[in-house]
Amino acid sequence: MRLKYYPETDSLYIDLSEKNSVISEDVAEGIVIDYDENGNIVGIDIDNASKKLSLKKLIIEKLPVELKEITA
């Protein structure tokens, strides 16, 4: 999983899979869900992210992962 913030457009993309998106669906104003060829969610695009989300803190709880990299 990868979270990428684009300050020039104030958008946040949450990449949930390494698979390619083949279908995108607008689910709310400024929120798009991307799906793979099997209908699985592969990403979430959020426009005007700083107005919709708290971007100041990211908390990861109880995920069975190795923390690889944190950059700001």
The CA distance from 2 to 59, in Å, is 14
Distance (Å, whole) CA 4 – CA 60: 16
Q: State residue 52 phi and psi, 5-degree precision.
A: -105, -25
pLDDT bucket at 71, cuts 50 / 70 / 90: low
Note the pLDDT tens digit of each residue in 21-47: 999 999 999 999 999 999 999 999 999
Counting residues of the chain whose pLDDT is more than 70, the rounded percentage is 93
pTM above 0.85, yes or no: no
Strand partners, 44: 14, 33
pLDDT of residue 26: 97
